[in-house]
C-alpha cells in the first residue's frame, strides 16, 4: 500500500428494501456471477471512479516515457490497462497526482505527476480525453472515450501556499485531498498524532479558496476532527475520494457515522475504497501496526531500495486479510443507509493498494459491484447514482458555488 443509499417516501422504501436485503447479502458470500441484466444496467450508467494511482506506478519505476507499462497492452503487474478499463465500463477516472508526504520536493514532484497524467492522456488519445467540468465528462463519455480528471492527493503538495493551490487548479486539478499520512502545518491527518484538532485558520482559508476555485475538497486521509471542521467551513459539497465506513472497519481513515450524517446535510459524497485494510475489521486492526513499522523502517533504511525490501518482507510475515466484493458492497450499503442513496460513490484506489478484495482485483471487475447491488435489491436508478451520478451532481454544485462566489 502506498503511503497508505430519494427523498420522502421513496427514500424510506429504498432504505427498507436495502435493510431487508442486507442481511441476505451477508448470508450469501459466494462468488458473484455477472448477468446480462446487470451488465446492461452497468453499461447504461456512468461509472466515475474517484481514485486511481496509475501515475504513481510510472514514478515508482522512474518511467516517464510509458515504455515500461504500455497500457494499450495487457499489464499483469498493474490493476489498470485500457482493455480492462473498457471491460469495467469506466466512464470517467480521477487519476491521482500523488507524491510521498515526507517529500522535500513535493511541489515539484506534484507538478511532474500532473504532467504524467496529461502526457498519459495524450499518449492514448483514442481512449482518453482530459475533463475539467461535469459537462466535459458527459461530452467525452458520449464520444466513447474515458474522461480523465486530476486529483491531487495530499495538501503537502501546496507547501503552505494558496498561490501553488491556484496553480494546481489552473493545471487541471479538480480535487485535493487535504492531507495524506502525516499532519500538515494546517490540518490533522487520520494517521498521525493530533496536533490542531482539525484545521488551523490557514487550513480554513485553503478550504474556502478551493470553494472559490470550484475545486472539490477531499476529506479522505484526514482525521475525523478535520472532517468535522471542514464540513463546518466549506461552502460547497465535499467528497471523500477513496474512503470507507468506520462502523464496519474501525480504521481512522474511514468515515464515522456522525460525519456521514453531516455529509448528507452538506450534499457531499463518500466514495468507497477497495483496500482490504479499510473494508475488513481484521485488516483495520492490522493497519496501525503496519503504519508504525513503515515509519520505523523508513528511519532505519534511508535507501529506498533497502527500505522497500525490508517493508515487503515484514508485510509477507503479516499478511493482510483480503475480504471480498461483499465487504465493499457492505460499506456502500452502510453509507447509503446512514447518509442516503445520494451520498455514496466508488473510489477504488486501484494501483495504489497492495491487497484487493476477492472479485475486485482490477478495473475490469466494476460490473460485479452493479451485479451485487442488484442481487441485494437495489434499483437501476439507485445503482446509477452510486456508480457516478452522485459525483456528477457534486461537481455541478461545486462549479455553481465558484461561479457565484462573491
- CATH number for position 126: 3.20.20.140
Cα distances from 99 to residues 152, 163, 291, in angstroms, run 9, 19, 17
Domain extent for 89: 8-280+322-403
Q: Is 242 a catalytic residue?
A: yes
CA 120 to CA 382: how far, in whole Å?
Answer: 33
pLDDT in tens, 242-297: 999 999 999 999 999 999 999 999 999 999 999 999 999 999 999 888 888 988 99
Check residue 333 and give its pLDDT: 98
pLDDT at position 110: 98
Q: Please give the residue that has the higher pLDDT: either 23 or 330.
A: 330
pLDDT at 27: 43
Which class for 265: exposed (0-12), middle (13-18), buried (19 or more C-beta within 10 A)?
exposed
pLDDT single digits (tens) 138-165: 999 999 999 999 999 999 999 999 999 9
Catalytic residue among 156, 221, 326, 343: 221
Q: Evaluate whether residue 316 is within a structural domain.
A: no
289 classed as catalytic: no
Strands 216-218 and 173-177: parallel
Q: Which of 81, 129, 153, 342 is catalytic?
A: 153
More confident residue, 274 or 65: 274
- Among residues 287, 210, 199, 277, the alpha carbon closest in space to that of 243 is found at 277
Which residue in 51, 196, 334, 384 is the catalytic one? 51
In the predicted model, is pLDDT for residue 18 greater than 60?
no
Residue from 42, 156, 169, 180 carrying the catalytic annotation? 180
Instruction: Specify the number of domains making up the chain.
Output: 1
364 is a domain residue: yes
pLDDT at position 28, please? 57
Lowest mean pLDDT among 6-20, 111-125, 195-209, 315-329: 6-20
State the catalytic residue, choosing from 349, 362, 372, 399: 349
Assess whether 330 carries a catalytic annotation. no
Would you call 37 a catalytic residue per the annotation?
no
Q: pTM (2 decimals)?
A: 0.91
Assigned domain for 115 exists:
yes
If pLDDT is split at 50, 70 and 90, which confidence band does 13 have?
very low
Given pLDDT bands bounded at 50, 70 and 90, which one contains residue 61? confident
- Which among 133, 261, 156 has a CA at the least distance from the CA of 206? 156
pLDDT digits (tens, 9 = 90+) for 301-356: 989 889 989 999 998 898 889 999 999 999 999 999 999 999 999 999 999 999 99
Structural domain includes residue 301: no
Residue 304 lies in a domain: no
Query: Is 53 considered catalytic here?
Result: yes
Q: Would you state the pLDDT for residue 135?
A: 98
Average pLDDT over residues 210-234: 98
Catalytic residue status for 153: yes
Across residues 36-65, what is the average pLDDT?
Answer: 95
Name the residue with higher pLDDT: 60 or 229. Answer: 229
Does the pLDDT of residue 4 top 80, yes or no?
no
The chain-wide mean pLDDT, for the chain, equals 92
Question: Strand 239-240 to strand 269-272: parallel, antiparallel, or no bridges (unpaired)?
Answer: parallel
- Using CA atoms in the order 198, 299, 296, 79, what is the torsion angle rounded to 10 degrees? 80
Q: 295 lies in a domain?
A: no
Amino acid at each position: 500500500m502506498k503511503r497508505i443509499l430519494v427523498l420522502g417516501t421513496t427514500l424510506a422504501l429504498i432504505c427498507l428494501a436495502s435493510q431487508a436485503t442486507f442481511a441476505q447479502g451477508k448470508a450469501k458470500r459466494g462468488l458473484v456471477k455477472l448477468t446480462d441484466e446487470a451488465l446492461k444496467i452497468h453499461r447504461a450508467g456512468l461509472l466515475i471512479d474517484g481514485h486511481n494511482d496509475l501515475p504513481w506506478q510510472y514514478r515508482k519505476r522512474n518511467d516517464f516515457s510509458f515504455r515500461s507499462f504500455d497500457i494499450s497492452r495487457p499489464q499483469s503487474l498493474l490493476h489498470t490497462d485500457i482493455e480492462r478499463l473498457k471491460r469495467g465500463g469506466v466512464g470517467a477516472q480521477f487519476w491521482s497526482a500523488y507524491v510521498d508526504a515526507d517529500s522535500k520536493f513535493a511541489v515539484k514532484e506534484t507538478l511532474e505527476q500532473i504532467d504524467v497524467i496529461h502526457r498519459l492522456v495524450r499518449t492514448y488519445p483514442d481512449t482518453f480525453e482530459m475533463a475539467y467540468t461535469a459537462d466535459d465528462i458527459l461530452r467525452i463519455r458520449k464520444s466513447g472515450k474515458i474522461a480523465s480528471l486530476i486529483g491531487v492527493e495530499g495538501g503537502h503538495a501546496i507547501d503552505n501556499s494558496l498561490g501553488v493551490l491556484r496553480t494546481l487548479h489552473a493545471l487541471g486539478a479538480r480535487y485535493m485531498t487535504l492531507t495524506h499520512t502525516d499532519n500538515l502545518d494546517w490540518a490533522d491527518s487520520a494517521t498521525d498524532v493530533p496536533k490542531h484538532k482539525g484545521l488551523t485558520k490557514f487550513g480554513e482559508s485553503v478550504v474556502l479558496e478551493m470553494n472559490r476555485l470550484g475545486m472539490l475538497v477531499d476529506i479522505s486521509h484526514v482525521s475525523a476532527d478535520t472532517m468535522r471542521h471542514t464540513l463546518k467551513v466549506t461552502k460547497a459539497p465535499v467528497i471523500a475520494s477513496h474512503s470507507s465506513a468506520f462502523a464496519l472497519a474501525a480504521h481512522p481513515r474511514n468515515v464515522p457515522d456522525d460525519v456521514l450524517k453531516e455529509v448528507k446535510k452538506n450534499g457531499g459524497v463518500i466514495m468507497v475504497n477497495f483496500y482490504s485494510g479499510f473494508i475488513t475489521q481484521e485488516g483495520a486492526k492490522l493497519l496501525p501496526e503496519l503504519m508504525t513499522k513503515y515509519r520505523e523502517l523508513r528511519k532505519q533504511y534511508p535507501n529506498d531500495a533497502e527500505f522497500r525490501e525490508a517493508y515487503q518482507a515484514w508485510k509477507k510475515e503479516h499478511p493482510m486479510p483480503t475480504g471480498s466484493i461483499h465487504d465493499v458492497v457492505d460499506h456502500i450499503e452502510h453509507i447509503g443507509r446512514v447518509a442516503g442513496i445520494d451520498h455514496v460513490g466508488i473510489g477504488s484506489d486501484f494501483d495504489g493498494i497492495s491487497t484487493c478484495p476477492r472479485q475486485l482485483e482490477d478495473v475490469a471487475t466494476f460490473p460485479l459491484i452493479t451485479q451485487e447491488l442488484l442481487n441485494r435489491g437495489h434499483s437501476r436508478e439507485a445503482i446509477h447514482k452510486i456508480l457516478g451520478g452522485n459525483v456528477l451532481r457534486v461537481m455541478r454544485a461545486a462549479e455553481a458555488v465558484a461561479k457565484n462566489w462573491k
